[in-house]
Structure 1
Amino acid sequence: MKRTSKLYKIGAFLALLVGSPYLTSCEKSLDEEAKTFINPDDFFSNETQCIQAVNGVYETLYDIYSSPDYWRMVDLGTDVAYSKDVNSSVQNYEYGSGNTGTGNLWLNAFAGIKNSNLVISRVSKAPIDGAIKDRVIGEAKFLRALYYFNLSNTFGAVPLWTDEIVIESISSLERSSLEDVRKQIVKDLSEAEGVLPLSYPSSDVGRVTKGAAQTLLAKVYLYAKDWKNAKATAEKVVNSGTYSLMSDYSQLFDVNTGFKNNQESIFEVQYLREPTSNKNTRTHSMISYYIPQRDAGKSTYAGVDFGKLVVDGWSVFLPTAKLVTMFETGDKRKDIVLGYGFKDQKFTSFPKPGYPWFGSKFWDLNARGQASGKDLYVLRYADVLLMLSEAENELDNISGSLKWMNMIRERAGLPALASSTTKAEITEKIFTERAIEFVGEFQRRFDLNRWGKLVEAAKSVAVDNPIGAAKVRPYHQYYPISQDEIIKNPNLKQNDGY
């Protein structure tokens, strides 16, 4: 395929090398190498430059996962969360091609794919150690797969390209089928799995690992209903012995327990804030959207004193009544996911009488203003276990399915499901367990879509979201492509219904 023009190459590379602080070990080299103009033809000549380049591909993670628009599009309009903003186009299913509800996901994900393609192409020819070359390319292929995973879950069929190509070619590409996109994702992850390490030295924690590639690959198989490959791939993660469940669900989200990159974490977006010096290296604002609203003119939140915490509490996201009822008696996760108070203080006001706020899972007591340095999970071991439970159940292996499901339930303080549990009952338990376990972790809408349950779920929370419950339709499985993108590329065909 035709290579990029010199001008476009320089422009793409400038966007790539803006200086990502994603990985601690690379901060110094990133700062030192930042220049006004860098031609990629003069770069990629040593290991440091190649590693710096792939660091730039990680940068897109922040553009996607730090965005409130992304949080809205994966949880609002589902059965786990709603917004007090009655004009929310996402939860009301009132978006269209001029107002897609997806923020800049299309632009950001394709920017990450473009940068991945550049790194894969150039590093493959770089005169560096073979093991480093393979690892860097493996990192870029995982990230390209993750960006395509997000795109395909959001829009369905999307343009597919894996080479450096001229901007004119990109802007005329037609949408590839969902099947072809998934084939490319599987190819990238399978190749990445073969070259990525199980772990890194502490100076490089946060990079993509073999386990991350295997976990995302298992998830892609699960979404495609390829149960045998989903099971086999997820079992590789288990059998590696690299990961295990944290003993206490609350430890996964408590910034004061050193939770970052813990034994259960497989891949998370790395953030950094130093509360003692109030230095914000890389932050997001999730706490502002999930903590109870700050009382007017006071330093309390819903009547509770959080000590030194001073954040803008908007409480945009609220748990649905349906989510509250999903918890069984004795579920230890309930007081972490849902917020009824803080320490020995009970909230004195609630979104509605009898309704809780979202709980400490989403809080960061070291945050300030809108700045939180709390890492955000993309993949963790509990997901592997529930994927195994689902795959085994679909393969009619009830005992195998219960084995994995009961590991999750045991941590939650719940009794094991009996061996007499039927396939249909396990299916319903998986539906509920994934809602409870992963609320706020960028999964619910994608899960509902792959199960064909989005409309049903939206209608089930009419008490919280009456407009959305009335307006949701089957075609809302996918979001619309922005009209701006269709104007730039007339070969893009809009999704049905918009």
Structure 2
Amino acid sequence: MKIASKLYRTGAFLAILLSSAGFTSCEKSLEEEAKTFINPDDFFTNETQCIQAVNGVYQTLYSIYSSPDYWRMVDLGTDVAYSIDVNSAVQNYEFGSGSNGTGSLWLNAYSGIKNANLVISRVAVAEIDNTIKQRILSEAKFLRALYYFNLSNTFGGVPLWTQEIDINAVSSLSRSSLADVRAQIIQDLTEAEMGLPLSYPSSDIGRVTKGAAQALLAKVYLFGKDWKNAKATALKVVNSGSYSLMTNYDQLFDVNTGFKNNKESIFEVQYLREPTSNTNTRTHSQISYYIPQRDAGKRTYAGVDFGNLVVDGWSVFLPTAKLVSMFEPGDKRKDIVLGFGFRDQKFTRFPKPGYPWFGSKFWDLNANGQSSGKNLYLLRYADVLLMLSEAENELGNTAESIRWMNMIRVRAGLPELAASTTRAEITNKIFNERAIEFVGEFQRRFDLNRWGKLIEAAKSVAVDNPVGAAKVKPFHQYYPIAQEEIIKNPNLEQNEGY
């Protein structure tokens, strides 16, 4: 986990570096002491500095994926989760340009892109070892691609820039087409794949690997319905021999089994909390949103004793009845994704009669208050297998599609699909499998949108989210751009419907 401490130490570093490059607000005081700044022209002179700089580009991961606004945006208003907060604009489809429901995603993602552009520009001409140079450039290109992937899935076509340019020039850019943004993402990931290693020594665990670039690239092809390239790229991940499924689904999420950076993990956001010393190095608050409600005046949660756990829980994210119904009999994932009890104790209180809470997939028994050091997955090998299943099915190769799907089903304790399973049946299975396997892993809304099923999914959970089911419209595929961004840049055009 040494990589974590490196990244944490350099979080503020890149902001300081960029401030002297003209990338921060022009209202920055000109009288601030010079020692606060680092001139980029005097930096990037050796490998250590270049690595420090790319470490700073990783910081945007925490700004995006640690945000409850992002969790709401990708799962609420879909068919897998709802909120007990009846005023949730996201799940009710009541967001608009004044309060667009995406939190600070636009600002955070573009901050990461800006930083990546600076690193790519400066490291490209730095006089350092070429192998290290190519790795650093590839890390930055992967991260830039990931941030554009988030932006394009959320807003559609967005302003596209890849150069180290003045912030005033950026603020006048118009939106590029979704096709052009995806083409740049593909270019970045293709180039990143070439310069990244398959793995790192333990001191650098958590950095982007070749497999991460390939897995994200396969996903981008999948989103673009380029089934042939999606298949070919996903097969590179499989054929690398670097990854395999964990034996049991629960091993992926149990903080006491050394689950971090396991053999199934392709890329995850690194967090660190040391419960023995109660040290919060880098944490998030996801458990507070997913754990069962704490009993008033007690240390128990919905009637169950979690031991020494002391969490400020809001329990605002709950599984839909639709998600519960997707589980087939015998699915081992059910008691991990859904919460019916803890160890030998059954919950005595539920959100609704017969409704479960979210389960141990989201819990961290080493958390304290709102602080969890549990890593968050962005890419897993299971995702690659289901991408292969979907691509093969769309290409008409049902036998191969079934083969990849069955790997996931066997791990879940389910019977293998029969060879006679039809293409339409596989499509439906993929719809359900991705919901079950990846709930809470930042995927559902994006999957529903690329399938054209967002409205259908939102309406299917009217029992849990009646307001959203009634108000969802086709234009809700994309979120609105915040009005303040359009005011700052009149060349931006608002998404349809807002």
Equivalent residue letter for 1:23: A
State how 1:435-454 maps to structure 2 within 5 Å.
Answer: 435-454=435-454
Aligned to 1:212: 212
TM-superposed deviation, 1:26: 5.9
Aligned to 2:392: 392
Any idea what the Cα deviations from partners look like across 1:41-74, whole Å, max 9, x if unmatched? Answer: 1100000000000000000000000000000000
Equivalent residue letter for 2:344: D
CA distance in 2, matches of 1:238, 1:302: 42
Q: Does 2:69 correspond to 1:69?
A: yes
State how 1:397-436 maps to structure 2 within 5 Å.
Answer: 397-436=397-436
What TM-score does the superposition give when structure 2 sets the normalisation length? 0.95
Aligned to 2:4: 23
TM-superposed deviation, 1:255: 0.2
- Match of 1:318, SS state, is strand
Equivalent residue letter for 2:369: G
TM-superposed deviation, 1:29: 7.5
Any idea what the Cα deviations from partners look like across 1:294-331, whole Å, max 9, x if unmatched? Answer: 11111000010000000011101000000000000000
TM-superposed deviation, 1:473: 0.3
User: For the Cα contact (< 8 Å) 2:7–2:59, is it kept in 1?
Assistant: no
Equivalent residue letter for 1:136: I
TM-superposed deviation, 1:24: 3.5
Aligned to 1:114: 114
Deviates more, 1:25-34 or 1:191-200: 25-34
- Match of 1:308, SS state, is coil
Aligned to 1:312: 312
CA distance in 1, matches of 2:255, 2:51: 29
Aligned to 1:348: 348
Equivalent residue letter for 2:481: I
CA distance in 1, matches of 2:117, 2:81: 36
Any idea what the Cα deviations from partners look like across 1:352-399, whole Å, max 9, x if unmatched? Answer: 000000000000000000000000000000000000000000000000
Q: Which runs of 5+ in 2 are unaligned?
A: 17-34
- Match of 1:137, SS state, is helix
CA distance in 2, matches of 1:111, 1:285: 22
Any idea what the Cα deviations from partners look like across 1:412-449, whole Å, max 9, x if unmatched? Answer: 00000000000000000000000000000000000000
Equivalent residue letter for 2:442: F
Aligned to 1:489: 489
User: For the Cα contact (< 8 Å) 1:301–1:313, is it kept in 2?
Assistant: no
TM-superposed deviation, 1:166: 1.1
CA distance in 2, matches of 1:313, 1:277: 22
- Match of 1:373, SS state, is coil
CA distance in 1, matches of 2:300, 2:183: 51
Percent identical residues: 81
Task: From the superposition, tell whether residues 490 and 367 of structure 1 become closer, same or farther in structure 2 (CA, over 3 Å).
Answer: same
Aligned to 2:21: none
TM-superposed deviation, 1:28: 6.6
CA distance in 1, matches of 2:112, 2:195: 21
User: For the Cα contact (< 8 Å) 2:84–2:318, is it kept in 1?
Assistant: yes
Q: Does 2:83 correspond to 1:102?
A: no
- Match of 2:391, SS state, is helix
CA distance in 2, matches of 1:471, 1:420: 40
- Match of 1:268, SS state, is strand
User: For the Cα contact (< 8 Å) 1:25–1:203, is it kept in 2?
Assistant: no
Q: Which runs of 5+ in 1 are unaligned?
A: 1-20
CA distance in 2, matches of 1:30, 1:338: 35
- Match of 2:441, SS state, is coil
- Match of 1:23, SS state, is helix
Equivalent residue letter for 1:459: K
Aligned to 1:196: 196
CA distance in 1, matches of 2:464, 2:369: 29
CA distance in 1, matches of 2:12, 2:406: 48
Aligned to 2:25: none
Equivalent residue letter for 1:148: Y
Aligned to 2:260: 260
User: For the Cα contact (< 8 Å) 1:186–1:220, is it kept in 2?
Assistant: yes
User: For the Cα contact (< 8 Å) 1:22–1:271, is it kept in 2?
Assistant: no
State how 1:19-418 maps to structure 2 within 5 Å.
Answer: 23-25=4-6, 36-418=36-418
Deviates more, 1:409-418 or 1:28-37: 28-37
TM-superposed deviation, 1:36: 1.7
User: For the Cα contact (< 8 Å) 2:156–2:478, is it kept in 1?
Assistant: yes
User: For the Cα contact (< 8 Å) 2:10–2:55, is it kept in 1?
Assistant: no
Any idea what the Cα deviations from partners look like across 1:13-39, whole Å, max 9, x if unmatched? Answer: xxxxxxxx9634566788999862111
Aligned residues: 478
CA distance in 2, matches of 1:194, 1:497: 41
TM-superposed deviation, 1:171: 0.5
CA distance in 1, matches of 2:11, 2:391: 43
User: For the Cα contact (< 8 Å) 1:196–1:208, is it kept in 2?
Assistant: yes
- Match of 1:366, SS state, is coil
User: For the Cα contact (< 8 Å) 2:142–2:188, is it kept in 1?
Assistant: yes
Task: From the superposition, tell whether residues 400 and 112 of structure 1 become closer, same or farther in structure 2 (CA, over 3 Å).
Answer: same
Equivalent residue letter for 2:275: P
Aligned to 1:15: none
